[in-house]
Amino acid sequence: MPLMLTAGHRKFWAGALHLAVLAVFVVLLAFPFYWMLIATFKQNIDLYNTDNNPFIFNLKPTLDHLKLLLFETGYVRWLGNTALVGAIVVFITLVLALPAAYALARLTGRWGQRIGIAIFLTYLVPPTLLFIPLSRVVAVLGLQDTIWSLVLVYPSFTVPFSIWLLMGFFKSIPSELEDAAMVDGLTHFQAFYKLVVPISTSGILTVVIFTFTLVTQEFVYALTFISPESQQMVGVGIPIFLVRGDVYFWGSLMAACLITSLPIALLYNTFLDRFIAGFTVGAIK
């Protein structure tokens, strides 16, 4: 008798396949974070014994790695550096990108969109092309080995993308709003900062989160411009300076990765859809 698949069977197998695909991808993509979690709390003699099953705690969990990380390494200092650079870069980005995006969305007509695309394309010029000349610029300006080198350079990639995101945002605001304000006697620029900026909180918030996460994720410039341990950002400090000579402190290293990553991931996840919209403009109607 030939094998007959009824509609019910087919539905069952489609569901099973769907579940299997999701399960495989979740395991492959999220496994390293589970692995960081395990290593964070494992005692060294458990961690470094290949006879033990590595997936479980063979000995009692410990807080030693966290203590070492927080009290005996530069980690807390690096967090502070990163937060400071992030805050200043966010400020510079908003000051430059808000007016520029508004101008390109509203005031410059057909050319606005084209200039916007040109600006967006500069976001694609990678750090690995510019870090060599910039390392000398930074040295000539006397900013080498300080976080100010990053404060200067990071807006060069946060501003283009933010302009692009905000242009889309401003276009979605009806222009009758400013027209009415200008009839009431405000100049166009006053209408922009008294009316448009205050109602753009969600667009601004997207730029703030996006800029801040980009600052935490950057690696090449931070690695190139800064050598002293005390001036590091988390993204470089953890992988480079938690290694002494050839000795990796894996427990503390994984703890640092995990507790740095999770807040960034949560923030980014909340704003992801708007961020992706920036990449897909034009391809999706």
Partner 1 sequence: MAVENRRLGAAMFLPAVAYIVLLIGAPFVLAVMYAFSDARIGTVGFHFVGLENFRSILQSPSFRAALRNSVVFTIGAQVIVIVCSTILSIALEKPFRGRGFVRFLILLPWVVPISLGAIGWKWILDSIYSVITWVLVWLHIFKPYNAPMWLGEPHLAMASVILVHSWRLIPFSTVIMLAGLTAIPKDIPEAAAIDGAGFWRKLFQIDVPMMLPIISVAVLFGTIFTFTDMTVVYILTAGGPFDSTQVLPSLAFATGIQGSDLAAGAAISLFLVPVLALIAYFMLRAAYRAEVA
Of the candidate spans 58-66, 170-178, 199-207, 271-279, the one that interacts with partner 1 by CB under 8 A turns out to be 271-279
Compute the distance between CA of residue 205 and CA of residue 133 in angstroms, rounded to an integer.
33
The SS3 assignment for 232 reads coil
Helix (H) or strand (E) holding 248: strand 247-248
Size of the site for partner 1 (CB under 8 A): 98
Query: Least separation, in Å, of the C-beta of 284 and partner 1?
Result: 4
3-state DSSP helix/strand/coil % of the chain, to nearest 5: 75, 0, 20
Closest to partner 1 by CB, 54 or 61: 54
Are the beta carbons of 162 and 101 closer than 8 angstroms? Answer: yes
Closest to partner 1 by CB, 202 or 227: 227
Rule CB under 8 A: is residue 185 a binding residue for partner 1?
Answer: no
Query: What residues from 21 to 80 belong to the interface with partner 1 (CB under 8 A)?
Result: 21-22, 25-26, 28-33, 35-36, 39, 47-48, 50, 54-55
Closest to partner 1 by CB, 87 or 92: 92
Rule CB under 8 A: is residue 281 a binding residue for partner 1?
Answer: yes
Compute the distance between CA of residue 98 and CA of residue 192 in angstroms, rounded to an integer.
10
Closest to partner 1 by CB, 55 or 71: 55
Query: What residues from 123 to 162 belong to the interface with partner 1 (CB under 8 A)?
Result: 124-137, 139-140, 152-153, 155-156, 159-160
Query: Least separation, in Å, of the C-beta of 130 and partner 1?
Result: 4
* Structure tokens given for 44: 């060294």
Rule CB under 8 A: is residue 239 a binding residue for partner 1?
Answer: yes
Rule CB under 8 A: is residue 183 a binding residue for partner 1?
Answer: no
Query: Least separation, in Å, of the C-beta of 121 and partner 1?
Result: 5
The SS3 assignment for 244 reads strand
- Cα-based distances in Å from 282 to 89, 113, 230, 279: 29, 12, 44, 9
Rule CB under 8 A: is residue 115 a binding residue for partner 1?
Answer: yes
Contacts of 53 by beta carbon, 8 Å cutoff, 6+ apart:
none
